[in-house]
Amino acid sequence: AQRVTQPEKLLSVFKGAPVELKCNYSYSGSPELFWYVQYSRQRLQLLLRHISRESIKGFTADLNKGETSFHLKKPFAQEEDSAMYYCALRNTGNQFYFGTGTSLTVIP
Amino acid sequence: DGGITQSPKYLFRKEGQNVTLSCEQNLNHDAMYWYRQDPGQGLRLIYYSQIVNDFQKGDIAEGYSVSREKKESFPLTVTSAQKNPTAFYLCASSDYSGEAFFGQGTRLTVV
């Protein structure tokens, strides 16, 4: 079975401060991890995936297989980063499993 | 305009009635999914389909049914057997590159 855990339902940071959204997973196989974001009144969309190892909108995430984590980080938060963030795992059967989400608020 | 279209945006149902939510995609994706989104519970997988004429139950399939007669379409029926159907429903599709694309969602309310 697979499971994705996001321990923080709500997270508030000040503009310019670093932000880290935590994600842990459990899966017996080799997972593919993603971060999806939902801005207000917009559909859920991909932010980044671990295999691409790229920075999107200043966000990065590193897959740590030893700690089974895929935390999302950004060194300087911006107001436009306020959104709902979901960590997701894709298994070898091409099914996507999502965490419960973290609502990020960046305070001006 | 390519993407996934869910309809209707809002749906009201009387208790005891079945209701069908529409999901159409023109992305030529093989895989399609239905999720239920409740506050504090994230997205939970109801059903998924990897190919036409085939679908599998997800974690919370009880009280729901689907069909996949065409590649483009994956309708979800919420039956009267679903005890707590009021929720936000999301449809998604993906190809095997790994990214899932989502519709705008349907909010179902039982009245």
Q: Is the pLDDT of residue B15 over 90?
A: no
Give the pLDDT confidence of B28-86 residue by residue, as tens digits.
Answer: 999 999 999 998 888 999 999 999 999 999 999 999 999 999 999 999 999 988 888 99
Please state, in angstroms and rounded to a whole number, the distance separating the CA atoms of residues B16 and B110: 9
Cβ contact, residue pair B94, A34, below 8 Å: no
The C-alpha torsion from B73 through B100 and B10 to B71, rounded to 10°, is 0
Give the model's pLDDT for residue A92.
Answer: 87
Chain A contact probe: residue of B99, B101, B106, B107 with most A CBs at under 10 A = B99
Our CA-based measurement puts residue B44 at a distance from the nearest CA of chain A, in whole angstroms, of 7
CB contacts of A51 in chain B (<8 Å) are 98
Give the model's pLDDT for residue A108.
Answer: 95
pLDDT band, residue A62 (cuts 50/70/90): confident
Our CA-based measurement puts residue A44 at a distance from the nearest CA of chain B, in whole angstroms, of 6
Give the pLDDT confidence of A10-21 residue by residue, as tens digits.
Answer: 999 999 999 999
Chain B contact probe: residue of A46, A54, A94 with most B CBs at under 10 A = A94
Q: How would you class B44 by CB atoms within 10 Å of its CB: exposed for 0-12, middle for 13-18, buried for 19 or more?
A: middle
Task: Please give the backbone phi and psi of residue A48, each rounded to the nearest 5 degrees, phi first.
Answer: -160, 165
